[in-house]
Every structure is written in structure tokens, then in C-alpha cells.
Structure 1
Amino acid sequence: MISCLPLDLATGALLLWLGLGLSGFLLGGWPTLACRLVFPLSSMVALLLSTAGFTALTATPDHLQLRGPLPALPWSFQIDPLSGFFLILLGLLACAVALFATGYFRSLPGPALRRLMLQYHVFLLGMGLVLLAANAFTFLVAWESMALASYFLVVTEHEKVDSQHAGFLYLLIAHLGALAILLGFVILAGATISQGGPFSAMLHAPLNAFWAATAFLLTFFGFSAKAGLLPLHIWLPDAHPAAPAPVSALMSGAMLQIAFYGMLRVDFLFLGKQAMWWGPFVLVVGLATALFGVLFAAVQTDMKRLLAYSSIENMGLIMVAFGLALIFRAHGLNALAALALAAALYHALNHAFFKGLLFLGSGSVLHGAGSVAMDRLGGLIRQMPQTAFFMLLGTLAIAGLPPLNGFASEWLLLQAFLLSPALPQSTLSAVLPLAASGVVLAVALAAYAMVKFYGIAFLGQARGTQHVHEAGRWERSAMALLSVACIFLGLFPGVLLNLLHPVLLEMLGQGFAVQQGLWLTPVSAQRASYSPVIFFLGMATALGLSFLLIWSFFGRPLRRVPAWACGFPVRTPAMQDSPMGFAQPLLRIFAPLYQAERETDDAGRWQLRIGEPVYRILYKPLNYIVLWISTQVLRLQQGRITLYLLYSFLTLLILLALWR
């Protein structure tokens, strides 16, 4: 019997993805054949990749090195429990997204489909290679491949000005982040950077406090640019609405989490001896990102733009848990650090599934109703009942309601906060409860935003959509798969936490408490425990008994009457809450933050345009400064060869003076 090592399975899956991308490029002239052949095979390859990830959780770490473009720059790959966990995340999400893409892209023209299939699979290949990279050279090549492929996917509709703007902004921020990561790797690798910067040399690199802090800030900045953390989030709200729905699902559900993987690999593992301020710094950045993201998600009128800001909020929550883990580890409390890190990894996987589900559902709405502008939607639950059901599950999960998966990871995070009094520093013990209250506020506002998201689009009367149709079977099967994942992770969190045990052992040398039975017990049953299955059965029983009692006493003489319309004789869609009307409380309370401006649309109706404060305060002045410097530099370009020779001569003199 032939057995394959996890690294063999993973590299084989990535090579198959590359082959499928090339096959799709060649078969793009036959769109129906290409979609029904390439994307289902891509889904099967994704399952193979996730199988490699599951196997890597319990297998011995493996390593592979191949000859690179130069003898001193080899291609180096490795697989361990940490990369295995993220391979599971990538593989399971890519499996569902590929099924959805089978039906979603079937109407795309041949030339556009050829390009998209190649770029789509190169994007998957790049993400997989980032997770398998074992030296700086391989990592950066894979990181840039991932960035470039996703850029071309964002500008799929390149004829639109909004897509061009979103793509340019994304590429600019991505390259700034890549440059910061490169500089951080140079510091960590030292002299070994000329041999490709092997990760084994970076592990616990002998750096003094200054260079360790510099490497931390550079790499955290670089990964934050891809993760969409404040203030580097500026690309994310534009890129997600511009990209096709399957691409948005992969970018939000997988690519953002791979940036978190980079932080875990570099800032947590490589920089083992951390300074005390690193954890509070990450926690503050994460909390600010979460609150900013949810406040702006709640006032959006576009479904995909709302989900983009929600991704910023969820990445902020993951960073809060990551910062809390850094704080606990810095004080030698590895058991509590394992709890916080488990909450971060759990929420990363949850976010991949429920955000992927919601982005795919938004794509179904776009194809079925022709728009994702919420002020043009309404009543979709009647025309798209199955999509509405799947979207309801995703909405409840992301809102953090039990017994779905979003609640379990957020509950673990709050349990970690409740254990913070064990810290020896009284200042941190006093401040962390305030951070916990900020997390609770972000979760509550997220529920508020998702009530608006689902209620306005799927409930009530139709506002402007006349011909609406249900999503196809491929799309529905993909959403059903992600819905099942959200339910399973919510009802059986102990299964995932037991799978995380090898990851936590690798990261901290100490795992999470083994979960047994139906109860989730972070520390001890006497302190706190939670059983999603028992909660669900109790809730279902209470609802069933309530229904039977109400029906037996009041339900038999049932009489249907029109809903009260406040005295108006005719009910019209205009009498419903609009997206901005629903957000009025926040618009009034946080008016200085939003800087809302009134404008009229093509039909002469008033609209509110929400400004981006970070762009206004930071990026706009920076843009003016760069333009001014460019204008001054252009004055040197006079078109005279004698002047250019003078510049060269003066530069040579300055270099000689400095060299001496």
C-alpha cells in the first residue's frame, strides 16, 4: 500500500490547481464545458488539500527543498500543524467556492472566462504556497503571486472606473505591505538572507530589543496591509464590491486569514522573546479596527460593501484575541495564552465559513435580482426562499447568536478576558475589562448591522426588483455546504478545539484542555462551560411548547387581516425602512465620524454619502504631499544633456565624499 506524506498531498494539490488553471485558459472558448469541468475538479482538489491539512495536524513536520533560479536561492517548503490548520481552512472554503463558481460564471464571455480561470487558480496556488513556504524567498514570491492574481481578479470588470480605482488602491497597499515584510525578513534572517532566508535561521533569531521591535513593527505592518487592519484597510471596502462574488468570498474568507497566518508564523513563533508592549499594541489596533469596521458596516447601503466592512470588524476581533495571547505569553501564562489563541484560530475558521457564505449569497442576489443595493431590494424571501434560508443562517452566525459557530468563538474570547485578573500587572488587569466591554459593543453593533442586512434585503415588500429568480443548483449546493459547516462548528466546538491541540503545542508548548462530551469547558466546569447541543434542544423545546400553547388557546379561530398602515389607505414599499433610515440612530450619535453629505441620485431622490475619515485625515494629505514632491522633482527634468551630466558629476562627488 502506497502512503503519501502531507507535504506530498499538499504540493500535488497545488500543482493540480495550476494545471486546472491552464486547462481553463485553453477551454475558455467553450464556457459551459469549461465551467462544468474545471470548477468541479477544482473543488475536488481543494478537498485533497484539506486532507493534507488534517493529516499534517498529527504527522511529523516535513520539509522539501528544490533548486531555485539561483543556486543560493532554493525553493523551500514545509508543512507543520500551523500550516496544516490553515490548509484545512483554505481547502474547505475553496471547495465550496469552486462549486458556486461552476454556476456563477457560466454566462461569462469566453475571453473573460479564460483569463478568470487562470487568475483564479493562480490565486489559489499563491495562497497555498504561502502556507507551505519555508524560506523568505519562497514566501515572498508566493505572497506577490497571491497579490497580483487577486488584483487581476478584482479588476475583472476593468472597463468600469470603480474597478480600476479599487484595483490600483489594492495593489498599492499590497506592495507597501510586501516591502515591509521583506525588510522584516532581512532583519530576522541576517546573513542567511543571501541563501534565501531559511525560516529555521529566523526561529528565535538573536536580536537585541531595538532590532526585534523593528522587525515586529515591519512585519506587523506588512501583514496588516493584507489583513485590512486600521489604518491600512482603505483598499478593502472598494475591492470586495468590485470583485466577483466567489473572489470576494476567497479574499475575505481565506486571504485575510493567511495574513493572520503570517503574523502567527513570524511575530509569534520567530520573535519568541517579545517586549511587554507588543500585546497591548496589537490589542488596541484590533479593538479600534473592530469598532471602526462595525460602525461603518452598519451605515452601508450596498450588501457587498457592508460585508467588506464586516470583514474589517472580524479581523479586528481576531487581532484582539491575538493581542491577548501575546499579553498572556509575555507574563508566562501559557495556559491562558492557549485559550486566547484558540479563540483567535476558531474565529478565523468561523469567519472563513460564514463570510464566504454571505458573499456567495450576495452573488446569488446580484444574479437573481440584478442588484446588491439594498434600497432596490426587499421581499426576496418569497422569490429566493432557499437563498434566503442560507443567508439567514449566515446572518445569525456572524451576529454571534447561539448555537451557531460565531457565538462559540466570541464566547471563548470573552472567557479569556474574564481570566485576565490572573495577570501580575495591576494596570493591565484594570484596563483589559474596558477592552472586553469594547468587544461586547462591537459584537452588539454587528448584530444590529446584520439585522439591517437581512431584514431590508429579504423581508418586507420589493422596492424596485421586478424579475427575480432563485439561484442555480450549483450555487445552492455551495451555500448549503457552508451552512452545514457553520452549524457543525457551532454545535460541536469541542471537535475543533481538540484538532487545535497540536497547533497550540507547536506555538506555546502547551495545548488546550481536551474537550469531552457535549460540553465546551475552557478551564474548568466549575468556572464556565457551554453546551451548544443542550442549548439548542432547550431552545427548540421552549419554542415548540410556546407554539403549541399559543395555537391551542388563540390559534384556532384564525383570521387574516391587512397589516396596520398607520392610517394610510395604501401600503407602498416607500413606507418601509430604508437602509439609511435604519441607520439613523448611529448617524446622529456618530455624526462627526461619518461626515455624511446629502446628494441626489438620477431619480432626484435624496441620498446620504458617507465619508471615509481615515482617507480624509491621513491619505488625502499624504496624496497632496506626494504630488507636491513629484512636482518639485519634475523641475530637474529639463531635457538638456549637459544638465544631466552635471547631476551625474555632482552625485559622484557626493558619493566619493561620503565614502571617504
Structure 2
Amino acid sequence: MACGVALWCVATLVGLAVSGASIARRPFATQVVYAASLAVSLVSFAAALTHLLSAASPDTITLPLGLPWIGARFRVDALSALFLVIVNLGGAAASLYGLGYGRHEEAPHRVLPFFPAFLAGMTLVVLADDAFTFLLSWESMSLASWALVMAHHRDAENARAGYVYLVMASFGTLALLLAFGLLAGPDGGYAFASIRAGSPSPWLAGLVLILVLLGAGSKAGLVPLHVWLPLAHPAAPSHVSALMSGVMTKVAVYGFIRIVFDLLGPPSWWWGLAVLGIGGITAVLGVLQALMQTDLKRILAYSTIENIGFVFVGLGLALAFRANGMSAAAALALTAALFHALNHTLFKSLLFFGAGAVLTATGTRDLERLGGLIHRMPATAAAVLAGCAAISALPPFNGFVSEWLTLQAILLSPQLPQWGLKLAVPAVGALLALAAALAAACFVRVFGIAFLGRPRSEAASQAREVDRWSLTAMVGLAGLCLAIGILPGLVIDGLAPAVRSVVAAEMPRQIAVAWLSIVPVGESRSSYNGLLVFLFIALSASLAAFAIHRLASRALRRAPAWDCGYPDPSPATQYTAGSFAQPIRRVFGTVVFRARDHVEMPPPGDPRPARFKVDLRDPVWDILYAPVAGIVGFLADRLNHLQFLTIRRYLSLVFMALVTLLLALSLWS
């Protein structure tokens, strides 16, 4: 039933995309498209959640399309049901937000047709049960999201972002195509059932793992395949950025799990080592890059890279434990990874919505031009504060639980027999601890500079609260972040069918634990109770507020902010985003960013102002991508001369090509 409902929802979304193209310029088009997308997403979400919680048997449908003798196969099992929940939850939130935010869109005819198409593409990827359908859906998802990135293509930066994204998406699809070709083998068994029945050799399985890391990793944002992500996410409209960051990256995670855990057969221990290392490096480099940015949406894009690193560390641990027959530990690690994937969908969508609200109210994403928004946008500030606390892994919000579960899985690593894993897992755990601390600093910086202090620009001082649809979406996601953090055991039990379908084990049932605590391994080792933590925080804060109001003077006193003895009313005297990040840049910048400080200090008597400029570089781009781009450009310039040959030279080239092919054929035979 769930598969049929999901396919009907996809058909509705495709029809909505087609109709959206015809009515996009009408004044009512925004409400129609987003309201219909919201309704479809809720229906698909309900069907997928019902299938997941009921632990129903897989539901399959084959349509007479696709490859001959195979058709287009679709299947909903526990794993795909979980990711359908994630896709449609994010889609419903973005659609609700779009009802208000979409009214401010400058070019709705470039967004409305592709928004439902993007949702349909992501849904089809999760439903696909053969390689051809998977790759076709993957490309549909990529092309629809590319069109949304290019919605404001007249901006040179957006056009560049779209070009880089298209190149990286094509590269990722090519890698997945090669991976499925190797899995299908000479018999061409492209159905997932046929691939599962095969048994690839160890070297072939290792090659497929590398290709899947390249293919799914490029879409997820793993380092060094992340270069498109901080360019494309800021270029897209904010609710589309939320979908790309909060949902599309999880579709890439699903692709990795489906191929590596399900189709590739029993893993080798070194698979976990490779995935662990990539995930740890991705987490640290992502959050360090986020700390150096001043563009609000670019900060969130780099933060996505950090959180994807956390997810892949959990997946790497699950692979390592599974390869050594430690099924309970593998279930814990995979539960942590899936839990964090769900959490990231919630709080990253919330934060992108908050960035869109700030952009709507002020017209800028630059932290250095914001400030004081908590007085002008109190509801948005409260929702964004909840998102910042969640992404910083502060209890009692949901981000703490999934990162805590990941660290609990890391603490089981001494039981692994391989010394490579014994040494690597604690090192990756240290990287994750560093990343978590830097993430907290990053979002203290974001909220403090954007919402606290005094306005740094006229636009910030004139900001107004956004519409009720946008606020409803943000407050709803903030509520979910808090509810899941308070009652994480319910979510862990809900994830159990998906975890069991992948590693043939699951965590103990958490609903039966007293006081709704969660016990990942054993009560003697560790436990966490989100409800008690929440009650303690709420009670302590209430008592403190009560004591302050009862014991303090009833007189209301207002005074200017402390000026350190230098009475200057200019907001420029406040801490800036750059000054907040300067100590961290001094520690890590020379190695990680090749940071260079340029100071222009005029001599005494010169009326020119002093100037300070920081030059940051991305070593991955400079070392890996810039040389490739240079070579491609050089070859393109040389081949460009072929456009201006005479007819005689064209015929000569054709003749020489024919002779060369005949010669190669004769030598081959």
C-alpha cells in the first residue's frame, strides 16, 4: 500500500510541476503550488510512517517502463520508508514555508515548476528497486535542483554555482553508473534483487565502495567533493536551500546505505576505516570553514558538511562492527547515524528558514550588516535560537542525543580486533569532539552577531517580523527539535525496523525503560533522560526568574550600554563576526585556509582610514579542482580551432578518423 500511495503522490507532483509551468505567472500560482505540495507531502509522510512503525513486509510494484524485461521496479521496505518520512517531512515544512516566503520571490516562474519536480525526484530515488530507475530518478533530482539553483541566473555568482553543481552532479552520476555496472556484471542483472543474489569478489566490492563514496559522497558533501555545496545552497531560494541541505543530502546518505549495506554483501573491516576517516575529516573541515564565513546561508551550507561528516562516522562504525560480527554495536552506530540524519533535516531546515526570514526582513545575508533583530523579529529569534541550540548539540534538544549516541558507539571500539580500527576510532572521536565544540562556537557567533547587540545597518534597524506561514513552519520545526530531544526513546524505537533490516539487529526497546530514559548499551555504562534534563532546566530557570523578580527592586531602570569609557554611539564599536572568529582563525587558519592578514596602517598625519583584510583560500579547490579546470580550459581553447577549418580539412579529419578506426578494428580481430 505504501508504495502505491507514494507513486500516486509522485504522479501528482509531476502533474503539479507541469501545471505550475503554465500558471506560474498568475498571482495565485504560489499558493496553489505550495499548498498542493504540502498536501501531497503530508499524505506520503503518513503512508511511509505507518509502514515504518507497523514493521510491515516490503511492498513492491513493477511498472512496464524502464529497461526491457525488467521494467521500472519500486519497493518500500523499512529503510526506504524511513527516508520517505525524512523526504516528506522536509518537503512539507518547505512547502508550508513557501506559502509565505514565495510571495517575495522575484522570479516565481523559475521556481514553481521545479519545486514539486524536485520533491518527486527525491521520492523516486528512495522508491527505486533497480539500477536504471535509481539512476534516472537521481538525475531527475539533480536536474530539478540545478534549475532551482539557477532561478536567479543573472547573478554571476549564481551562474557559477549552477555550473559547478552541474559538473559535480554529472561526475557523481557517472561514478554511480560505473558502480551499478560492476554490480550487475556481464549478465546485466540490474534489478536490486539480482544484485543482492550476486557475490562480488573482495577487490570488486572494494572498487564499488570507492565509486559509491565518489557518487553518493559528492551529492552528500563529503570532503573533498564538497566544493559545489557552499556555492549552490546560498544561490537557491531559502526554502529550496533547506530542501537541498536538509533533505537531498539525506537521499545521498540513503543511496550509500542502500548500495553498501544492502547490495554489496558482507563488508570488510577496512571499509569502516575508510568511511570513518573521511567522515571525521569532513566534520572538522566543514565546521572550520563555517566559522570563517560571514554570509549567513554559506555558514549553514558549510555546517551541513560538518553534520554529514557525523552521519558518515556513524556509518563507518556500523560497517566496522558489522564486519567483526558485533551486531549490537553495529545497531547502535547505525541508529546514531540515522537519528542524526533525521535531526539534521529538522534543525538545518529550521535554520535555513530563519536565514530566509532575515533575508526577507533586511535584504541582506551578511552578518556584519545585521544585529539587534531579537527586538524586531522576536518569534524568528526564538525559533532560530532553538535551531542553534539543537545544531550545537545542547540538551535537551535533539542534536545532543544523536551525537551522544555516536560517542557511545565510539566507546565500544576497544572491542574491535584490528589495530588499525583500535587506533583510528579514538582519533576520529577526538575529531568529532573538536567539531562539536567548534559548532557551538559557530552558532553562538551566528545568533549573537545577527540577533543581539545593536543594528549595524539601516536595513537591520527597520526589520519587521515575517508572515505567519513562515513563522508556523519555523516554530513547528523548533517544537519537533525539542520534543525529539525530550523523548528520544520513541524515535529510537521508531528507527528500529530500518536498523534491523540493514544489520539484522536493533537497540533494546527504549519505551520500556523507566522514566523514559535511553540506555544504548547497559545501565552500568551510561544512560540519558531528556525529560528529566528538560524539567530540571525549566524548573531551575523558573526559580531563578522568580527569585530575581521577587528579590530585586520593583523600579524599572534603563541605562545606556557600558561603553568601556569610550562614549561612541556607533554600532561599529561592537564585536563583529570577523573579530569573533579571529582567535580560531589564528590557530587553524594558516594550515587549513592559508589565511593571510593584510593591514593598511597610514602613517601619522595621513587622514586615510586604517584597513584590515583577511584572505582565505580553500586548499581543496586550489590543489584538486583549479588545475583540472585549467587543463580543461587549455584543451578547450586548442580544440576551439576546429570550428574554423575549411571543408577540405574537415573531410581530411573524417577520412583519417575512419582509417584509424579500421586499423584498430583489424588489430583487435
- Fold conserved (TM > 0.5)? yes
Q: Which moved more, 1:531-540 or 1:618-627?
A: 618-627
TM-score by length of 1: 0.95
Aligned to 2:564: 566
C-alpha displacement at 1:481, in angstroms? Answer: 1.4
C-alpha displacement at 1:408, in angstroms? Answer: 0.5
C-alpha displacement at 1:203, in angstroms? Answer: 1.2
Alignment of 1:412-561 (within 5 A): 412-464=405-457, 465=459, 466-516=461-511, 517-556=515-554, 559-561=557-559
- Whole-angstrom distance in 2 between the partners of 1:350 and 1:158: 32
Aligned to 1:578: 576
**Per-residue deviation, residues 421-449 of structure 1 (Å, max 9, x unmatched):** 12123442243222111111000000000
- Whole-angstrom distance in 2 between the partners of 1:548 and 1:470: 29
Secondary structure of the 1:63 match is: strand
- Whole-angstrom distance in 2 between the partners of 1:615 and 1:262: 26
Aligned to 1:341: 334
> In the alignment, is the contact (CA less than 8 A) between 1:52 and 1:87 conserved in 2?
no
Change (3 A) 1:600 1:234: farther
Aligned-partner residue type, residue 476 of structure 1 = L
**Per-residue deviation, residues 225-250 of structure 1 (Å, max 9, x unmatched):** 10010001000001011000010000
> In the alignment, is the contact (CA less than 8 A) between 2:70 and 2:191 conserved in 1?
no
- Whole-angstrom distance in 2 between the partners of 1:169 and 1:573: 38
Alignment of 1:268-307 (within 5 A): 268-307=261-300
One of 294, 300, 307 as aligned partner of 1:314: 307
**Per-residue deviation, residues 92-134 of structure 1 (Å, max 9, x unmatched):** 111111011011111335xx32331111111100000000001
- Whole-angstrom distance in 1 between the partners of 2:399 and 2:187: 42
Change (3 A) 1:431 1:597: closer
> In the alignment, is the contact (CA less than 8 A) between 1:192 and 1:198 conserved in 2?
no
Aligned-partner residue type, residue 120 of structure 1 = F
Aligned to 1:19: 15
Alignment of 1:628-647 (within 5 A): 628-631=634-637, 638-639=645-646, 640-647=649-656
C-alpha displacement at 1:628, in angstroms? Answer: 3.6
- Whole-angstrom distance in 1 between the partners of 2:352 and 2:252: 20
Aligned-partner residue type, residue 529 of structure 2 = S
Q: Which runs of 5+ in 2 are unaligned?
A: 601-608
Aligned to 1:626: 632
TM-score by length of 2: 0.94
- Whole-angstrom distance in 2 between the partners of 1:406 and 1:523: 19
- Root-mean-square deviation (CA, aligned residues, Å) is 2.0
> In the alignment, is the contact (CA less than 8 A) between 1:204 and 1:271 conserved in 2?
no
> In the alignment, is the contact (CA less than 8 A) between 1:226 and 1:259 conserved in 2?
yes
> In the alignment, is the contact (CA less than 8 A) between 1:240 and 1:248 conserved in 2?
yes
Aligned to 2:103: 106
- Whole-angstrom distance in 2 between the partners of 1:385 and 1:605: 35
Change (3 A) 1:416 1:138: same
Secondary structure of the 2:382 match is: helix
- Whole-angstrom distance in 1 between the partners of 2:551 and 2:31: 54
Secondary structure of the 1:105 match is: helix
**Per-residue deviation, residues 525-579 of structure 1 (Å, max 9, x unmatched):** 2211100110111122222333344444445566443222111123321111111
Change (3 A) 1:641 1:25: closer
> In the alignment, is the contact (CA less than 8 A) between 2:3 and 2:76 conserved in 1?
yes
C-alpha displacement at 1:589, in angstroms? Answer: 1.1
Q: Which moved more, 1:304-313 or 1:571-580?
A: 571-580
Aligned to 2:133: 138
Aligned to 1:68: 65
Aligned-partner residue type, residue 643 of structure 1 = S
Secondary structure of the 1:68 match is: strand
- Whole-angstrom distance in 2 between the partners of 1:614 and 1:426: 30
Q: Which moved more, 1:49-58 or 1:558-567?
A: 558-567
Alignment of 1:54-453 (within 5 A): 54-57=49-52, 58-68=55-65, 71-72=68-69, 74-108=71-105, 112-193=107-188, 197-203=190-196, 205-453=198-446
Aligned-partner residue type, residue 626 of structure 1 = V
Aligned-partner residue type, residue 369 of structure 1 = T
Aligned to 2:621: 615
- Whole-angstrom distance in 1 between the partners of 2:252 and 2:67: 28
Q: Which runs of 5+ in 1 are unaligned?
A: none
C-alpha displacement at 1:21, in angstroms? Answer: 2.0
Paired-residue identity, %: 42
> In the alignment, is the contact (CA less than 8 A) between 1:281 and 1:323 conserved in 2?
yes
Secondary structure of the 2:200 match is: coil
**Per-residue deviation, residues 336-379 of structure 1 (Å, max 9, x unmatched):** 00000000000000000000000011001101111111011000
> In the alignment, is the contact (CA less than 8 A) between 1:136 and 1:198 conserved in 2?
yes
Q: Which moved more, 1:591-600 or 1:156-165?
A: 591-600
> In the alignment, is the contact (CA less than 8 A) between 1:249 and 1:355 conserved in 2?
yes
Aligned-partner residue type, residue 179 of structure 1 = L
Change (3 A) 1:523 1:555: farther
- Whole-angstrom distance in 2 between the partners of 1:555 and 1:147: 61
- Whole-angstrom distance in 2 between the partners of 1:605 and 1:192: 67
Aligned to 2:594: 595
Change (3 A) 1:606 1:528: same
- Whole-angstrom distance in 1 between the partners of 2:541 and 2:472: 29
C-alpha displacement at 1:67, in angstroms? Answer: 1.1
Aligned-partner residue type, residue 23 of structure 1 = S
> In the alignment, is the contact (CA less than 8 A) between 1:188 and 1:202 conserved in 2?
yes
Aligned to 1:10: 6
Aligned to 1:659: 668
**Per-residue deviation, residues 80-100 of structure 1 (Å, max 9, x unmatched):** 000000011111111111011
C-alpha displacement at 1:649, in angstroms? Answer: 4.0
Aligned to 1:45: 40
- Whole-angstrom distance in 2 between the partners of 1:289 and 1:163: 25
C-alpha displacement at 1:617, in angstroms? Answer: 1.3
Secondary structure of the 1:159 match is: coil
Corresponding residue pairs, total: 650
Q: Which moved more, 1:470-479 or 1:620-629?
A: 620-629
C-alpha displacement at 1:597, in angstroms? Answer: 5.0
- Whole-angstrom distance in 2 between the partners of 1:102 and 1:607: 40
Secondary structure of the 1:277 match is: helix
Change (3 A) 1:605 1:123: farther
Secondary structure of the 2:343 match is: helix
